Amino acid sequence: MPRFMIVFSLAVFAANPAHADSLSVTWMISKFSGLGFGVLLILLMALRTRGSTSTAISVPTLSETPMFDETLLTTMFHTARLHGDISQNTLQSLLRSYKHLTGKTVTQQLIASKYAQKTDADGLLSIMAQFSRIERDTMMRGCVDVAVANGAIGPRENDFLLELKTALDLDGTVLHNQIRAALRPDVTIPPRQFLAA
């Protein structure tokens, strides 16, 4: 833009030498207009950043109850054991689901610890009432993901999921919908199998 002003001023000067004073004025305007515009931008940016410091958003973590993540992982391993030995496919599904639900990865040491840990279903189910609604839904989702990992839900897994639904105080349709959402095309389950409790 300043070059255009200079060329325009030279054209005016060449056309009319009497306007030499206007050329110097135009030269001054073109030289200092960029400086004034820069100062104005700096002031506007300072005002804008001064007002935006209070707009930070804090996102709470999923776990509100202490030991939720630990209980979720223990319950998911318990669900995996109900089908028999934990297959590699089931373990991978369990770890993927846990990371998806909590955002956390599981160390090899913790996997070995949970793999060796024998859990009592009644003991697990007795502590479910303390969790928030979101945590209870998350707990059910994690266990359903593990139960459908092998492609078939056995009778022991079915019974445990129904007991878990009751312990978590969830509606039967919640369990049914989570099972339908977790199913892959190769999993065949009789319709209404999980609505009978």
User: pLDDT per residue over 67-124, tens digit each?
Assistant: 899 999 999 999 999 878 888 888 999 999 999 888 889 888 988 888 888 888 888 8
What pLDDT sits at residue 54?
Answer: 45
Say whether both 42 and 94 belong to one domain: no
Measured distance CA(93)–CA(90) in Å, rounded: 5
Percentage of the chain surpassing pLDDT 70? 63
CATH number at residue 127: 1.10.3680.10
Q: Which domain holds residue 26?
A: 2-55
**Do 49 and 102 fall within a single domain?**
no
Instruction: Name the residue type at position 56.
Output: A
Q: What is the pLDDT of residues 28-72, one digit of tens each?
A: 666 666 666 677 667 777 777 665 544 444 434 455 677 899 999
Q: Which of 162, 120, 169 is nearest to 144 (CA)?
A: 162
Q: Is residue 61 part of a domain?
A: no
- pLDDT(20) > 80: no
Give the confidence band of 8 by pLDDT, cuts at 50, 70, 90.
low
Whether residues 49 and 77 fall in one domain: no
Are residues 73 and 152 located together in one domain of the fold?
yes
Match 């973590």 to its residue by tokens. 61
